[in-house]
Structure 1
Amino acid sequence: MRLRGGDSCSELAQIKEFSEWILKVGDGDAGDWNDGKVELELPNDILIHHTGDPIASIVDAIYPSLENQPSNPEYLLERTILAPTQEIVDLVNDYILSRINGTEKIYFSSDEVSKDESNIGVRDLYSTKFLNSIKCSTLPNHELKLKVGAIVMLIQNIDQSRGLYNGT
């Protein structure tokens, strides 16, 4: 586990307690069994309470004062939002982008199938509209929206010598 050390004894004790709890969750030893499922009570300090839009609540909790921090790399490096589906990722990305000041620029993927001989028939099999609608974690979306100061993560290696690789 990657946990940074605390400044005080109480912080170290809290980190140790959280570490033990998260290991129990991972090992399946936390919570009470109920008909083959585990009922797990989450500590109140890790819950995000919301009254309206859950996406806004999560983003506001993880990226407080986002409008004032877009060029601060430490602020961005210390935070992340994990999402269970690509649809949720797109909702979070759209919401964060709407919070960043500036003009949005939209980039589109190529919508032509290669005219290589090995692709004969493929051009007729899949419509451009269908190809542009495909959304999965290993393929970039057809439409990429960006603003200056937007948070971007690369999903492919581009130039490792310049630090542009998958996950940065």
Structure 2
Amino acid sequence: MMTVRLARCEDLPALQALYDGARRFMAQNGNPEQWKTGGPTRAALEQDIRRGESYVCEEDGTLCAAFMFRAPVAEGETEPDYACINGAWAAPGPYGVMHRVAVATQGKGVVGFCIDWCFAKCGNLRMDTHRDNRPMRRALTKNGFVYCGVIRLGFDGSERLAYQKLK
């Protein structure tokens, strides 16, 4: 049975290994640009843990996924990278955001389980992904997200495709 819990500092080595594997998978499957500089960094993961926004999904005690989740982003506030969109969000806030999704094994429904867990907490969920990340784009569509437009990341200006799921 899959469960979600807050990540802890002692999870960092396993988290880094999980993200290393996700980078390899993306590079081997037509997405060599996303996280090519080694992201998410250990510092980013540590910050997510300190803020209580880093989560792991486990099945029978084995780490099968990790993600960052924040909710709610209150009405009148915005996720910094989501402030400007070439397109339009499907609905205003408050909303939750999910970032840095990585799974250990593809095709087992783990992404959908994690999305459902986050969505149950907020009922209005926003995500983004690299244009070349076809597995994630399929997962978002399969799990009820609608495409809203293109955003640009503040740290490097690269574009991401933005999606939203509503109740």
- TM interval, short-chain normalised: under 0.3
Greater radius of gyration (CA): 1
Q: Between Structure 1 and Structure 2, which shows a larger proportion of strand residues? A: 2
Higher relative contact order by CA 8 Å / sep ≥ 6: 1 or 2?
A: 2
TM-score, L = length of structure 2: 0.26
Higher helix share: 1
TM-score (norm 1): 0.26
